[in-house]
Structure 1
Amino acid sequence: MIKVLIIEDDIIIGQMISMYLSEDQFEVKQSVNGHDGLREIVHFQPDVILLDLVLPDYEGLELCGAIRELSSVPIIVISTKTNIKEKVEAFNIGADDYLCKPFSMQELKARIKASLRMSDIQVPVAGGSEGTECESQYADFTLDVERRLIVIKDQKIDITNSEFEIMKRFIHYPGRVFRRDELIDTLYRMGEIVNDRAIDVHITNLRRKIEQNPKEPQYIKTVWGVGYKFVHLSAI
């Protein structure tokens, strides 16, 4: 059962979220201030945290940073603050997602599940078995998740944080077509604001690093008019 900690000073909003998630077999705890929230992180050991930025005893971004120092658990900010500056600051200090109030409960649940998928990568390999979250091996390269780099024929190939996040998404969902706006959202979660052209540049750079012939890519395919997909070839 997925454990969710809600740190929200509005008791009614907290109860509404708690009731909705509990009906869907989430185990939920509520804290109405930052002090209690930090204590529950230790005792409750949540799988994901929903964090309001307006609390009676903590400045929200300060608390987000304190949580990130304490735990690597995914943090989803839920806030009435809608400006880009606030969002970028939250991502930079450790938030994994940012949801503006008011929001639908269906979207909240979807974002919780997406954050959990991104925090616990299971890489499929040939034969239907699962790879580890630390290293994913393919015929021509290895994606080292722990060190955030690619290894090709025993040579370490450095990749940027943006390239790593895109590659991580591809490998988690081999064969799935990602629209450019989905990849933009992936980078937005880590505080980078990009456009379609920037995504194309990242893809070009990744192909140069992992493909034998970048002009005829085997792994990262273009789906014209839609986006890109990772083709799972010769996994070992």
Structure 2
Amino acid sequence: MAEKQKILIVDDDENIAELISLYLMKECFSTQIVHDGEAALAAIPDFRPELILLDLMLPGIDGYQVCREVRRTSSVPIIMLSAKGEIFDKVLGLELGADDYMIKPFDSKELVARVKAVLRRTVPAAPAIEETGQFVEYPDLTVNLTNYSVVYCGHSVEMPPKELELLYFLASSPNQVFTREQLLDHIWGYEYIGDTRTVDVHIKRLREKIKDHDRWSISTVWGIGYKFEVKK
């Protein structure tokens, strides 16, 4: 029997946390609930969640700081939960390393769907697929979509699923220009509720981890979008 995927729920509202837990347990997930940021950071090493549902407004250490601390050592997917709906809050959350952002109140089915969508992108494929798996390779860069790994200049680079998918998508079509809308549609899907600044945030994070090479670079095409430029 397959082991249940583990989800850490971080929310100071006990009723909401319990409700989320019930939704997820009905879908055969294993859950653990904590009610503040310090407890969340303490729980992660022992519980080892596959995904974290993280409320922003927490007592003590808020969700932004928790996200920042987690990203220093881990690429575990994070979905932020907040009653705030301002674009600034969404962008800040994404810049800090969140994979998705949901505004309260949300529909239980949508929450479960987003959790499953994020987890699908983080489950490694079977080893047998490795030989014919999906990967792109350039000098000093290998992006493998089969096992969600990136090797840059001989070192493994940790990055959340959406960043890796964006890098892979661009690198799979060298020198082809994609608009922000195209990238949003391909990587996040047409059902994603967001705006094109989401793409800009992820490109910024990629550039911080993957510096331009003398043979290739992630290039901005002003007024249009981005491309993975390969230099001859």
Check whether the contact 1:3–1:27 (CA below 8 A) recurs between aligned residues. Answer: yes
Question: Using a 3 Å threshold, how does the CA distance of structure 1 residues 39 and 137 change in structure 2: closer, same or farther?
Answer: same
1:26 aligns with 2:29: yes
Whole-Å separation in 2 of the counterparts to 1:123 and 1:67: 27
Question: Using a 3 Å threshold, how does the CA distance of structure 1 residues 161 and 41 change in structure 2: closer, same or farther?
Answer: closer
Structure-to-structure mapping, 1:1-236, within 5 angstroms: 1-120=4-123, 122=125, 129-131=128-130, 136=135, 144-145=143-144, 146-147=150-151, 164-167=167-170, 181-183=184-186, 185=188, 188=198, 191-192=201-202, 201-202=225-226, 205=227
Shift of 1:79: 0.6
Whole-Å separation in 2 of the counterparts to 1:137 and 1:161: 12
Shift of 1:131: 2.4
Question: Using a 3 Å threshold, how does the CA distance of structure 1 residues 82 and 144 change in structure 2: closer, same or farther?
Answer: same
Question: Using a 3 Å threshold, how does the CA distance of structure 1 residues 199 and 120 change in structure 2: closer, same or farther?
Answer: farther
- SS of the residue corresponding to residue 60 of structure 2 reads coil
Shift of 1:110: 1.3
TM-score (norm 2): 0.63
Question: Using a 3 Å threshold, how does the CA distance of structure 1 residues 180 and 94 change in structure 2: closer, same or farther?
Answer: closer
CA displacement 1:136-159 (0-9 Å, x = unmatched): 269xxx95341369xxxxxxxxxx
Alignment RMSD (CA, Å): 3.8
Shift of 1:201: 4.7
Partner AA of 1:130 in structure 2: I
Whole-Å separation in 2 of the counterparts to 1:131 and 1:199: 38
Partner AA of 1:6 in structure 2: I
Shift of 1:20: 1.0
Check whether the contact 1:6–1:31 (CA below 8 A) recurs between aligned residues. Answer: yes
Unaligned runs of 5+ in 1: 150-159, 171-177, 210-236
Identical-pair percentage: 31
Name the larger-Rg structure. Answer: 1
- SS of the residue corresponding to residue 94 of structure 1 reads coil
**Residue 157 of structure 2 aligns with which residue?**
none
Whole-Å separation in 2 of the counterparts to 1:121 and 1:65: 25
